[in-house]
Amino acid sequence: MPRVRDPLVVGRVIGDVLDPFTSSISLRVTYGNREVSNGCEFRPSAVVNQPRVEIGGNDLRTCYTLMVCILQVMVDPDAPSPSEPNLREYLHWLVMDIPESTGTTFGQEIVHYESPRPTVGIHRYVFALFRQIGRQTVDAPGWRQNFNTRDFAEIYNLGLPVAAVYYNCMREGGVGGRRL
């Protein structure tokens, strides 16, 4: 029987940004009509506008935090370049209090969406979803660079993520792909 490898492990999202976790809810992220799947590639022109995010489940009383980092949360763990990620992680988006079975439009945006604009190399952009204990007040981080998803989750008692997905992005005229 072939061994199935978790794409979050293969793409080093687990390790660089997140600790190992078990996904327990669906997370669907789309830019226009294209859905994000782990390791897929987007160009900056395709991710200028904030994506549509849908969270599964059926309990409106349960809330979530989404962080997006280059590394939702949306973060970039490869800022400013994959070979020298000294700004790791870069926070691109932070939304809190998203009710289960809805999307980010029903949450509270703490850090406004900043579209990816990589200049060197191929960057990973990670959407990490955390279950909140309840609605809570969160202060926006004072900076985007050197954000730390793990530390943020610990400070606000979010625990491990419940879902995550990532994509790769390089400058508009770049060629090649991420070598794993």
Chain segment 142-170, per-residue pLDDT in tens: 888 889 999 999 998 889 999 999 999 98
Per residue in 96-107, pLDDT (tens digit) is 988 888 888 888
Tell me the per-residue pLDDT of 24-80, one tens digit each, with 9 for 90 and over.
999 999 999 999 999 999 999 999 999 999 999 888 888 888 876 543 456 677 777
CATH number belonging to domain 7-170: 3.90.280.10
125, pLDDT greater than 60: yes
Residue ranges covered by each domain of the chain: 7-170
C-alpha pair distances (Å), 118 with each of 28, 44, 77, 165 = 23, 8, 12, 19
Contacts of 101 (CB under 8 A, 6+ apart): 55, 56, 57, 58, 59, 60
What's at 60, amino acid-wise? L
* Range 13-19 average pLDDT: 93
DSSP 45-97: GGSSSPPEEEE--S-TT-EEEEEEEE--EEEETT-SBTTB-TT-SEEEEEEEE
More confident residue, 1 or 172: 172
Mean predicted confidence (pLDDT) in 114-142: 86
Q: What is the pLDDT of residue 85?
A: 74
